[in-house]
Amino acid sequence: VQLQASGGGLVQDGGSVRLSCAASERTVTYVAMGWFRQAPGKEREFVAAINWRGDSTYYTDSVKGRFTISRDNAKNTAFLQMNSLKPEDTAVYYCAARTGGAYSTRASEYKYWGQGTLVTVSS
């Protein structure tokens, strides 16, 4: 499975960005999807995840109420809608897929990764 993340760019403080993660195969329908991010000089951290049905989601505390993860299994695509962005959200965002259907917050449990897309929030 190949994942292609897109949608990053430069946005002002308080702005919004929608990231997309397109999968190359329909089998991604049966996997959980996650978004992680890595800021300069920091370790990769969990952001949000969604189960394969799309009816269960989980967010790290710092993005709750601002970010929304979703998926369209018919299009083999997952999304991360990011609102009320802050400079501290600046990072390379990675999408990932985990077999088994249930989501996880651990990067080590995701087998497939996209190449990352940079989101820069200016103050």
Structure confidence by residue, pLDDT tens digits, 15-74? 999 999 999 876 666 789 999 999 999 999 999 999 999 999 999 999 999 999 999 999
d(CA 55, CA 107): 21
- Residue 107 sits at φ, ψ, to 5 deg, of -60, -35
Q: Are 36 and 44 in contact (CB under 8 A)?
A: yes
- Residue 13 sits at φ, ψ, to 5 deg, of -50, 130
Residue 77: strand pairing partners: 22, 72
> What's the pLDDT at 51?
94
Measured from the Cβ of residue 80, the count of other Cβ atoms closer than 10 Å reads 27
